[in-house]
Every structure is written in structure tokens, then in C-alpha cells.
Chains A and B, each alone.
Chain A
Amino acid sequence: MTALVRRLEQAWFAEAPASRLAILRIVIGVYVLWYLVPRHGLLTELAESDPSLFEPVGVVSWLAHPLDPSLFHLLVIGTFAANLAFLLGWRYRISGPVFALLLLGVLTYRNSWSMIFHSDNVLVLHVLILGFAPAAEAVSIDSRAGDRDRTGWQYGWPIRLMCVVTVATYFLAGVAKVMGPAGWPWAGGGELLKQVAVDGLRKDVLGSAASPLMFALQDYLIVFTALGVGSLVMELGAPFSLIDRRLARVWAVSAFFMHWGIFFIMGITFRYQLSGVMYAPFFPLERVVVWFRSLRSGSRATSLAEFSEAKFR
């Protein structure tokens, strides 16, 4: 029993440097800014859509009618401001939760117009975890000099939670496939080819273009079988990757390439996944910062290899 508790404790409350969590805050904060700001016009236009197309989901499902477009516009501007404060780690005890809740609200509203963009799900969950975690105790306006060297379990568990939430979503996608009408034969590849073809047909009919790779590969069912089996192994096996840190990193890299495969074959852009930012919690990002710092300070002897021996893996 004690061994089990110790193992759980090690898994969930392992110590991590404050800078690792802080860098995740910065990387994800920059990503959201890059993602949202160019979509400002789209969000504004969407809020002015035909009210009959409004199908509220999630935290806005209580809305009987769409919000006044000017109110939604204000919320979007507020989200940008909170995003900046989150990114810089300014008054984080307030700006962290405020940004997390505003992003949840704005993206849920954006997904309430007849279509849910599943690629945004994990992004929102990651920001919710970071927003309520002590992610600005290093590399931030709030932090003091020397804070970046702090370590503790309070910086470790949010990162662990981000990893667990990430693999949980893949597991759910795998369960949906085998529990769906196609069942386990989904792995055979025939269903996947049909899914890819339906997606391509929709693109062609609605003024976009299907991926040429789809037409090139259609006669090779073995490719789709490999992709089907590979997807199911990746999705249903995702929770098992958490048993070992290295295995989890291999899983993260494989999932990243799977999304690039989907992009080339189907032309579907899962931005958070394709950017690689979604898998950042699986890696000790602070080592990159330490490496850059050492380069700046002219310590040529220091290399990434030395940091691989660092205390916190």
C-alpha cells in the first residue's frame, strides 16, 4: 500500500523547476496570441451571423439567444488583454484565472455556431490548468530574481495534469472509433479511406480542394490499414505511455507526426497539434532556456548534452 502511495506520489507530485511551468505558460500564451489575434475579424463576423445558426454548447449552453455582437467584441478584446498579462506573468493570481475563463468563454461561443472545432479542446484545457497553477513564479513580471531556480511539487503536478489530459483526449477518440458503428473493423482501413474521401468530396464541392495524396494512395488499402491500426494503437494506448517518461515522449512525437500525416492526406489543419505546442508539457523546456542563456553568457563549454544530465528530467 505504501509502495503504491509512493508511486502515485512520484507520478503526480514529482518535483519540477518553476521555470518549466513558466515556459509552458509563455509558449502556450504566445500560441494563443498567434492563434486568436489574426482571427479577430472572423470572431467579430461570426458573432453577427444569422441567430438561427446559433447552437450553444458547453459553458454558454444556457444562452437562449446569441450575445449582442458588441458585447462579444468587448469579451474578445478583454481576452487579448488578459492573454498578454498571462504571457508576461503580470498580476498572475488574477490574470491567470481571468484569461483561462475568458478563453473558455470566447472559444466556446466560437464553437456554438453549428460546428465544434475539436482541435481547440486541449488548448482550452491546458490554459485552464495553467491559469489556476503557479505558472508565473519564474520568468515573469511577478517573479523576483532567483525565482527561476525554485523547484517543488507545486510546479510538477500541473505539468503532469496537462500530459494526462492530453492523452485522455486521444483515448476518448480511440474509444469513440471502436464503440462507433464501424467498431473494431475500423482498423481495417476501408472506413478510414471512406472518411478521407468524404472529407475530400466536401472540400471539392465547397470550393476548397481535396489533397492530391488521397487520390494517389486510394489503391493502396494497406496504407490505410497501417494508418487505421496505427491510429488506434496511438489513441487507445495513450494512457499506457504515461507509465514511463521516455515512452510518453515517444508517444508525443508519434502523435505530432500522426497529425502531420492527417494534414498531408486529408488537408485537415489541427493547429495546436501541428504546431507541436500541445506536446510541450512532455518535455523539459527549461533546458533550452538554460542552453540559450549559457550561449549568451559565452560559456561555450556548456552544451545541451550536459543538460541532459540535469537533475530534473
Chain B
Amino acid sequence: MQQLTEIRWHARAGQGAVTAAKLVAETALAADQYMQAMPEYGPERMGAPIKAFTRISPEPIDIHCNIENPNVVILLDDTLLDVVDVAEGLVADGTIIINTCTPPDAIKRALGLADSITVACVDASGIALDTIKRDIPNTPMVGALAKVTGAVEIDSVKSLLAKTFGKKFGQDIIDANLASVDRAYEEVTTA
């Protein structure tokens, strides 16, 4: 794994991007990594576009500035493709992971992205509706992140989910979330 992985999350307020960024941070800690997770604070309205950031590193992280050149960009909502510049500042060999039904090569063409950039697509909302019975795409997207980048380990994600959700929810909800992570891990496609 590389020295420092920087992730930028795009979502609409209420979709659980901050929870997902936190889950990734805790997964990193479980693997004895260092991490930062910070939402970008502004006026908070349900449905408004928001950003969140995660840093993961095997070494202590000194920097506290915004992430300008992420290695990974994650979109929890594909309607944001028309609203935000998802590829802004992305490193040349970066990865974009999108919750969408559109195939990755079509997205790559539509955004005019360089060949060196990896686009990964997964119908996280569809998976969430199937498994959790609600459109909460954040946990399946962490499953896709594990598959595409290896920044976090799938087993570690699942055991932490079981642990943190175990305090609040019943076994059926935990199982549904675990299933959503597994399915996103299996179903994500890249171009």
C-alpha cells in the first residue's frame, strides 16, 4: 500500500458520506494505520451537495490542509455528475468510484477522462434497496472502495460494521448491511 491515500467524498447531505468516511477511518485504525476524516462544513440542508475527506497512511499524518489532489474520489449520488467537477485535482493515476447504473466506460467518455484514470461503477442504491430496503448507499460504497483500491480490507470493514451497528441495531439490519458490502464488492465494475 502506498504512503498516503487521500479520498474525497461527494454526496448529498443525508446520504451518509460522513458516516462512511468515519467507517473508513475506523477500518484504517483497526489495521493500525493513521487516519483523518473531516467533513467540509457549511450550511447544512438535506439534499445539498456536500464534501468529506479521508486520509489514510501507515505513518503519522502531519498535514491539516484540505485535500486538493485526491487519489480516490467517491460519488454517492450520480446526479452530482452535472453539479460538481468530480475529477477536479485528481492525481493522474487516480480512481473515481460512482454509485450509478451507468457503465464505467460510458462515464469515462462522458467526463472526457484520461486513460490513466480508473472509473469504477456500482449500483449501490439498488443494492441498498435490495438488502437494507432503504436508499442508503454509503456502506455498499465502502465495499466497492475495498475492492477497487485495497485502501481498506473488506473483512475489516465488515467486522467493524458488525461491531458499531451491533450497539444500535438488530441482527437483521446488521446482516443486511454486511450483505450490501459483499454485493458491492462483487458487483463493482471498472474501466
A binds B: no
